[in-house]
Structure 1
């Protein structure tokens, strides 16, 4: 049985003032679904931030000037955006996946493929994309050719639609974690395309984030409860370790910072809560957004303008907030 720890907090701990954002990027974006810090082999900073939106636009923000450098319509309701070297990939709610390349001043679509639609965001594993497929399965797509190469089956009946995905590594092997409407979370061996274990969580899971160092992960859902799970490195069996709660129902996204010190939760009540990963206690409640937060990303490298890594959050209010969370 999971251990229940700290009671819900409605605001930052007593005596602790929440930080102000470094900057807020605004500009007729409408609801934001996905954020991406493009990574280049030859650059050790993060000069750009991409945002995909409900109306099908991708906005490119220059983080050295905090100004929008490019805006382009690339489809309808883009749920996820991924960077792959000089190119990037968009995934639409309709199921259309497109590969884009920058030519002169505009992005041009090179290839596309039709997949199963929905709200579940795809995940990029090297040069392969994992996307929702029919009958509760997942498809793995070779991005270069935009062709399906193999399928991941949950090996469990009547689990409903896939809700969220993430890529993880265990003992230097790649795995995919996916959660379904029923609350079943499945672990797949990516290369073998085989389900290896599963666990039942709270229904309507919305987001998963995993810490390879501790072999633990955090799960958000449509309730007020956050669940912490553990994966045994030898048997690959999963178990629920802890549960903690927030005041109001609904968590759209959870994201662990790479150093394993904190994680952030973007919530339906418009707040971003960040927690100590060690104790699960709320460290601060950020109230910058006026509508629910849909995505949170930590920059993999420093941003020159701020001389540090940052956290970016975007949501239904069409605003991207940038934060420097010292911990």
Structure 2
């Protein structure tokens, strides 16, 4: 006899919410859900009720990130919007048009050292990646543009993973062509390129063991210097 799955810890339903595209936690007490209709629902995990919901836009919410005092959303099409928390509600600060037609999700890097730096990596048009300073809205947005003429045609960025190594911040980014570029964020310089797999949709990397994993609809690769096909 097959073993039945366990009951869910939370069961959150609302007739107004519809299909959910993305979720994130806020301090383990609340859950935010981004919907296909372009709305964000805030759920109280103590009462299992939606305490608040609001519209971001008309496109599906593909990514959500929550810091101690801000909410960052990403919509289909690439638009990134930042909200601050005020009077038990979310106040829109500004939006950035990413002009990205693919399905690459944004990634939030949070430095736990004394600097408490928070950087948002988001896909832009062509093969570019934007780097937004979440904690300092006045800081200029950094752009990572693979303009080396020796590179092959990369296509759009499909996934990326920020990571710390040797006290420096790097970004591992995958592209439609199957190439993965490693960027040194402090200098904005590309430091490595390797061809792993086309149509990659997700990537993760552990700098301690120097191993990572790339996933897509029909593939899974692990890599350590070179890719080993599973």
TM-score (norm. length: structure 2): 0.83
CA RMSD of aligned residues (A): 2.3
Shift of 1:228: 0.8
SS in 2 for 1:196: strand
SS in 2 for 1:37: strand
Partner of residue 273, structure 1: none
Partner of residue 196, structure 1: 191
Decide whether the 8 Å contact of 1:123 with 1:129 is kept in 2.
Answer: yes
CA displacement, residues 17-44 of structure 1 (integer Å, 9 cap, x when unaligned): 65443233222433322221224xxxxx
Cα distance in 1 for residues equivalent to 2:54 and 2:137: 24
> Map of 1:1-327 to 2, 5 A cutoff?
18-28=5-15, 29-39=17-27, 46-75=28-57, 76-118=59-101, 119-125=103-109, 126-143=117-134, 144-145=136-137, 148-154=140-146, 155=148, 156-223=151-218, 225-230=219-224, 238-243=225-230
TM-score (norm. length: structure 1): 0.60
Decide whether the 8 Å contact of 2:204 with 2:214 is kept in 1.
Answer: yes
Instruction: State the aligned residue count.
Output: 216
Task: Point out where structure 2 has 5 or more consecutive residues left out of the alignment.
Answer: 110-116
Shift of 1:227: 0.8
Structure with the greater relative contact order (CA < 8 A, sep ≥ 6): 1 or 2?
1
Shift of 1:214: 2.0
SS in 2 for 1:205: coil
Cα distance 1:87–1:187, how it changes in 2: closer, same or farther (>3 A)? same
Shift of 1:115: 2.2
Cα distance in 2 for residues equivalent to 1:164 and 1:217: 13
